[in-house]
Amino acid sequence: MNKTHYTSLIKQEAKRLGFDYCGISKAEFLSDEAPRLEQWLKKEMHGRMKYMENHFDKRLDPRLLVEGARSVISLLLNYFPSKTQNDIDAPKISKYAHGKDYHFVIKEKLKLLTDSIKKNIGDINGRAFVDSAPVLDKVWAKRSGLGWVGKNTNLINRQNGSFFFIAELIIDLELEYDGAIDDYCGTCTKCIEACPTNAIVEPYIVDGSKCISYFTIELKENIPAEVKGKFENWAFGCDICQDVCPWNRFSKPHNEPMFTPKKELINMNAADWEEITEELFDKIFHDSPLQRPAYKGFKRNLDFLK
């Protein structure tokens, strides 16, 4: 069998498993990204996310992650919810956190995809990645033709916008490669203008240390006083730069049952969030991305919004 057939098999199986898009690119050194990443780190735009400084070489070359790597298979899974929070005055939770933690959901799908490749093609060597390893996922998705990286640095797909999780399989099998598509942001600057903390410091560059998502999820210390009053009621993550993006008028509700919004989250009003106990928080959100800051970190966020 040839690589055309292998490529078709993989894309068909990805679709069967529920992934919305699958693209493939050649596993090679990301020469264009090297100076950009270096400058971003030098300017300390990663804030206290010190893990971003680790494995610099591996972030730029997948062949250092998987011996003999030939292909990067990029996959997108839609998380745009059919329902949003009922109480408009309740603390806002990013759409990606409305259901079960995506790490659990996607890792299982990637395991099944890997098993299928081994069963139908052969005993390939590879690794699966879901936002927890030194992989520049948006860059690989762009190179695989799944979208372009917009001015808010999110991957944007022409058909469905940007509310996607990105995952990869890096394998030692040569396949047919997809090419990058054009950038369709044009002259639009809505995301830049809408960001209340001015985190998008220039088109295509986000200072992560100024992002509301960074403050409410990644930062373990006290949130700086200078951003008090700028969160627009976001208590976990932030969707502002995506919500204002014209391409997200094409977003459609996902079809993944495990991303179904938790009814408690949807129905909770401002008072419910204020009064939530650690026991209730852990009961409702035990398998949710909200466990990232845990109860203590989440309460810190709520207190900061007052």
pLDDT, one tens digit per residue, over 131-165 is 878 999 999 999 999 999 999 999 999 999 999 99
13 and 73 inside one domain: yes
Structure tokens at 231: 């969160």
Residue 60: pLDDT over 80? yes
pLDDT of residue 132: 77
213 and 120 inside one domain: no
Sheet holding 164-171, edge to edge: 21-26, 71-78, 164-171, 126-129
pLDDT, one tens digit per residue, over 216-268 is 999 999 999 999 999 999 999 999 999 999 999 999 999 999 999 999 999 99
pLDDT of residue 133: 85
pLDDT, one tens digit per residue, over 262-292 is 999 999 999 999 999 999 999 999 999 999 9
- Whether 93 is in a domain gets the answer no
pLDDT of residue 1: 62
- Rounded to whole angstroms, the Cα distance separating 143 from 280 reads 43
Structure tokens at 83: 């329902």
Q: Going by C-beta distance under 8 Å and a sequence separation of 6 or more, which residues neighbour residue 135? A: 59, 62, 65, 129, 168, 170
Neighbours of 125 (CB within 10 A): 14
Average pLDDT, the chain: 97
User: What residues make up the domain containing 199?
Assistant: 190-305
pLDDT of residue 131: 87
Structurally, how many domains does the chain consist of?
2
160 and 200 inside one domain: no
Task: Please say which residue of 171, 200, 230 terminates a domain.
Answer: 171
Exposure string (b/e) for 6-21, b if CB count within 10 Å is 16 or more?
bbebbbebbeebbbbb
- Whether 27 is in a domain gets the answer yes
What percent of the chain clears pLDDT 70, i.e. is strictly above it?
Answer: 100
The one catalytic residue in 32, 89, 115, 131 is 131
Q: 42: exposed, middle or buried (C-beta count within 10 Å: 0-12, 13-18, 19+)? A: exposed
Q: Is 131 a catalytic residue?
A: yes
196 and 291 inside one domain: yes
